[in-house]
Amino acid sequence: MVTRSRRNVPFTSNPLLRVTLPAYRSHLLMGLIAAAFLALAGRAVYLQVFSQDFLQRQGESRYARTLDLPASRGEIHDRNGVVLASSLPARAIFAVPGDVDLSHPRFGDLARRLGLDESDLRQRISGTEKTFVFLRRQLEPDEAKQVLDLKVPGVHSQPEYKRRYPEGDRLAHIVGFTNVEDIGQEGIELAQNKLLAGRSGSRRVIRDRLGRVIEQIEAIREPLNGNDIVLSIDAKVQYHVYAALRDAVAEHRAQAGGAVVLDARTGEVLALVNLPTYDPNQRGELSGAQLRNRVLTDTFEPGSTMKPFIAALALELGKVTPQTVIPTFGGKITISGHTLSDVKGHASMTVEQVIQKSSNVGTVQMALKLAPKDMWETYAAIGLGQAPQLGFPGAVAGRLRPHRNWKQIDQAVMSYGHGLSVSLMQLARAYMVFARDGDLIPVSIFKHEGEIQRSQVFTPETTRTVRRMLELAAGPGGTAPQAQVPGYRVAGKTGTAHKIENGRYVNKYISSFVGFAPASDPRFVVAVMIDEPSAGKHYGGQVAGPLFSRVMGETLRTLRVPPDLPGSGFADASAAVRGRM
């Protein structure tokens, strides 16, 4: 029996286990793995080196916020320091829509405390792609606290300010108001918005997931509060003028009314009132009629209030004297086919009587002695056809046509205040020529400081002569004896003019009176206007005269101006004024 030797054969040499794959495939696999590692390393370098700032900002956006720090708006004061507008701390409620749980059990309570319908609140939050949405603005701090106490996720608050107007509707057309963004919309709030607003600040903070500030990072810019403003208005005088105008509009069942009080020495506006008015603290429903500052924005034909300027110009040019007799033809005159008439006819009148009795025919006779250019230049010199520059929005220029286009009938009717238009502020300023010694100064809504610019219109002698005529007009034999103020000498003139609608005169009137007192040393100019009186009276002496008397009397008494009538003490005059109220 033959025995064979056994050789040692490795297990891996088994043909079934022999690798027959090509070597390049293993090299390729190793290469891919190495490339993946290089890509990851490159991405890491890109993120940590080149994208560091971007990623840092993205990270901070999850927890860091820039908070606006509102500036406190400046206060508005009257001339005596009475606060007319101020800012009070308030809170704004806002939501981060992505964080709000609309199914929160207190969501309904949230809507009720915000004064909103629950479905509307749900729509406001879910129906937006914004990351920030206001839910309610200018809430009182305690009201905002009640909202936050509900602890609805995603609902937060931030500080802001709410404007307050202590004088309410009495000063609405002067002070105006701001919107929820604290930007002026009307009045001084609009005209002086830049000065009052100041500049908001900002600060970087870290907030937790509930929106609470847990760390202050940096102050980017500190808020700069707005500047305070001092007006020329006297709040006490304003109150009395408002009450007087309100009563007059109600008594005569008028559509509207306006009144303005000027300091004849400085041109400062002491009071400016319009009706209808509004409460700037409650502005839910405002109409254009309420917002209109009629003293500045509405124009009307001034009527007979222009007659004294014609007399003054005729006196200045030596065409007449106070005692010159003017034929008035029984109260009728025909110019270019148009018949002009007086309310009461006289055969002739002196210049003094023409102003005292308010004769259209007598005024036309004086006007036709004048060159149209001279008449136009006088009207322009007293501010007609030019918007008053008193630092207030909306003042209008009125209408004064160039003299080159005047016909004789135009010159005639413009002499007694038709065919041109003015605002009540323009009329009040124009009469400062007679309250002063023939010069005109600017009017201002701000408390006076510094020099006063003057422009001479008439000589002092002419002015004093016309002033005496205006005393007669406001006296017992004139057209407005009801304009008298007990204890004081009063000078002024009535105006009664038809209104124009669609280019035609209609049977509606504007009754006005403008004058000054004490006539011996004028301190105040008062102009009043009643629009469409409908209680049976429409003449300026009947409607506007008594209103002027009350306004002027209250102003003189409030500012303690001594009476200038012989035998009248201050206490007696004050008692008489109160007795007429």
SS3 of residue 508 by DSSP: strand
Structure tokens at 26: 């293993």
Catalytic (active-site) positions:
304
Task: State residue 181's pLDDT score.
Answer: 87
Q: Where are the domains of the chain?
A: 64-97+144-149+158-230, 235-580
CATH class of the domain whose range is 235-580? alpha beta
What does the pLDDT read at residue 80? 96
User: Which pLDDT belongs to residue 265?
Assistant: 95
Q: Which two tokens stand for residue 513?
A: 């009176």
477-to-263, 364, 472, 520, 541 alpha-carbon distances in Å? 28, 21, 7, 19, 12
Q: What is the DSSP string of 325-380?
A: EEE-GGGEEEETTEEEE-SS--SEEEHHHHHHHT-HHHHHHHHTTS-HHHHHHHHH
* pLDDT, tens digit, 9 for 90 and up, residues 426-449: 999 999 999 999 999 999 999 988
The two structure tokens encoding residue 175:
């002070």
Low-confidence ranges of the chain (pLDDT < 70): 1-21, 23, 51, 55-69, 128-129, 202-220, 567-581
The full DSSP string for 461-494 is HHHHHHHHHHHHHTSTTSS-GGG-BTTB--EEEE
The residue type at 205: V
CATH superfamily ID and name for 64-97+144-149+158-230? Penicillin-binding protein 2a (Domain 2) (3.90.1310.10)
Tokens of 446: 């701000």
Residue type, 533: P
Closest to 494 measured CA to CA, from 302, 349, 313, 350: 302
Query: Tokens representing 225?
Result: 């509060």
Question: Given this model, what pLDDT does residue 191 score?
Answer: 93
**Tell me, what's the pLDDT at 577?**
44
Q: What is the pLDDT of residue 568?
A: 60
DSSP 414-469: HHTT-S-BB-HHHHHHHTHHHHTTSEE---BSB---S----EE-S-HHHHHHHHHH
Calpha distance 40→437 (Å, rounded): 93
Tokens of 577: 């004024």
Query: What phi and psi values does residue 40 have, to the nearest 5 degrees?
Result: -65, -40
d(CA 558, CA 552): 10
DSSP-assigned letters across all residues of 172-197? HHHH-EE-TTS-EEEHHHHHTHHHHH
Q: Which pLDDT belongs to residue 235?
A: 97
